[in-house]
A and B are shown apart, each in its own frame.
Chain A
Amino acid sequence: MITAAAAGLYVCHDCGKLSRVADLPEHPDCPRCHAALHLRKPNSTTRAWALLLAAYVMYIPANLLPVSTIVYLGHGEPDTIFSGVKVLFQTGDVPVAALLFFASICVPMLKMVGLTWLLLTVRFRWMWRPKDRTVLYRLIEIVGRWSMLDIFVISILVALVQLQALATIHAGAGAVAFCAVVVLTIFAAASFDPRLMWDLLDEERP
């Protein structure tokens, strides 16, 4: 049981090629694909924390401001993410409401709380179940894209419902903030290096 870093090897993040640290200059490029080589993603935790904090900040306007406004016969009805899901539950579209609840409310929360927890375990050197934490990290990476659902729905509604006096749907500033949360958490997850969780274990067991 030895890691690439312990063996003095760079692993290329783009193509997976191994190269010896000793054979290469100080800021090396991959001999096969020319990507910059690092033993671990550079400033991984700092970047992930910064992007995550930005996501938390944007999460507030994303939930307080309306994401869309339906103007029906001259009467405007602004909807936030939460009120939109609530209305769907009340009108009886339970599967759609559950889907939007999952994609727009559960997924962003899971991503932000999950990443915060992963960063804390690395920060405070907790050894708890690295395999399960790695699975959680993969889950965060896979599920993140599904929060774009609400943004796509808004774009389709805005495109179709443009019947001036009769019915019109406009996007709201909340949608911009929400989309920013999605993008920021995708970048935050990509900045985090799951190998940091395993490094602690390898240090303990030389």
Chain B
Amino acid sequence: MEPATSSHGLDELVACHDCDLLHRREPLERGERARCSRCNAFLYRRPKDMLHRTLAYTAASLVLFLVANAFPFMEFKIAGRTQVGHMITGAAELWGEGYAFLSFMVIFTSVIAPLFMILCLGYLTAPLIMGWRPPGMITVNRLIGHIQPWSMMEVYMLGVIVSVIKLGQMADIVLGPAAWAFAGLMFTLTAAIAIYDSGVIWERLDADAGKHHAAKRDRRLTGEATS
């Protein structure tokens, strides 16, 4: 058997990443998900309008991210004195106290990883919608999967709520514009990540490779015909 035809056969199969069982790919309805018949792991899906919806939520996330990092997050009022905290104040304060590891983990999971997700999702979806291929698509599509578990905004938001309740006993807490923007960001970025499907990007790359291959074959065939 020719290698090309044997690799074509592989495209019709999909393996479960949790139990390794092979399944034949079956066409799905829009919005449907395929699951492993043995361990129920998610296999693949056919999302509705993935690129446009991901980009919409990503664009909203970028605006909210900028607001969340530019404006005061919380004000703490006690005995006539006011302390203002920004998004990065906690990490800066921990750094100042000599806790470099804690400082890094806080800033990485609450600021850097979410920003990275926003930039990567925008970098992939915006050009693809306009019909051109951004350079480094493969690397960016892989990186998204590796960074995503470290974006922990929803946990941070819960931390804000716990802090407000804890400090509320000893002082007045006023939430600033950044806190509201961050709450919104939590929803928009979670939605963008949930809608984004790396499989769609891989299929596009496969389709490009297929076209490239066919074009080369056609050139060769027409070349042979004219000579």
Q: Which positions in A face B, CB cutoff 8 Å?
A: 1-5, 7, 9, 11, 13-20, 23, 32-35, 88, 91, 93, 96, 99-100, 130-131, 134-135, 137-138, 145-146, 148-149, 151-163, 166-167, 170-171, 175-176, 179-180, 183, 186, 194-195, 197-199
- Of all chain B residues, which has the CB nearest A160? B76
The complex places the Cα of A2 from the Cα of B81 at a distance, in Å, of 69
Q: List 5 A-B contacts (CB under 8 A).
A: A33-B141, A99-B162, A145-B149, A156-B163, A195-B17
The complex places the Cα of A60 from the Cα of B206 at a distance, in Å, of 50
- Of all chain A residues, which has the CB nearest B155? A148
Binds A, one of B91-99, B123-131, B219-227: B91-99
The complex places the Cα of A176 from the Cα of B95 at a distance, in Å, of 12
- Of all chain B residues, which has the CB nearest A99? B162
The complex places the Cα of A93 from the Cα of B83 at a distance, in Å, of 24
| Chain A hits for B195, CB < 8 A | none
Near A by CB (< 8 A), chain B positions 124-164 give: 138, 141-142, 145, 149, 152, 155-156, 158-160, 162-163
| Chain B hits for A154, CB < 8 A | 102
Of the four ranges (under 10, 10 to 19, 20 to 34, 35 or more), the interface on chain B belongs to 35 or more
Known: A160-B76, A163-B78, A195-B18. A20 touches B202 (CB 8 A): no
| Chain A hits for B85, CB < 8 A | 156, 159-160
The complex places the Cα of A14 from the Cα of B79 at a distance, in Å, of 55
Instruction: Select which of B40, B138, B159 is within 8 A of A131 by beta carbon.
Output: B40
Q: Is the interface of B mostly helix, strand, loop or mixed?
A: helix
A198 touches B205 (CB 8 A): no
| Chain B hits for A183, CB < 8 A | 105
B78 touches A149 (CB 8 A): no
B155 touches A157 (CB 8 A): no
| Chain A hits for B18, CB < 8 A | 134, 137-138, 194-195
Q: Does B63 contact A (CB under 8 A)?
A: no
- Of all chain A residues, which has the CB nearest B157? A152
- Of all chain B residues, which has the CB nearest A147? B155
Q: Which positions in B face A, CB cutoff 8 Å?
A: 3, 6-7, 10, 13-15, 17-22, 38-41, 44, 74, 76, 78-79, 81, 83, 85-86, 89-94, 97, 99, 101-102, 105-106, 109-110, 138, 141-142, 145, 149, 152, 155-156, 158-160, 162-163, 165-167, 169-170, 198-199, 202, 205-206
| Chain B hits for A130, CB < 8 A | 19, 39
The 10 closest A-B pairs by CB, nearest first: A152-B159, A155-B90, A4-B15, A159-B90, A159-B89, A3-B20, A198-B19, A156-B163, A160-B76, A11-B15
The complex places the Cα of A134 from the Cα of B165 at a distance, in Å, of 37
The complex places the Cα of A32 from the Cα of B93 at a distance, in Å, of 44
B15 touches A18 (CB 8 A): yes
A163 touches B83 (CB 8 A): yes
Q: Nearest Cβ in chain B — how far from A136, in angstroms?
A: 12
The complex places the Cα of A19 from the Cα of B38 at a distance, in Å, of 22
The complex places the Cα of A160 from the Cα of B199 at a distance, in Å, of 43
B3 touches A131 (CB 8 A): no
B94 touches A158 (CB 8 A): yes
The complex places the Cα of A15 from the Cα of B162 at a distance, in Å, of 38
B138 touches A156 (CB 8 A): no
B162 touches A149 (CB 8 A): yes
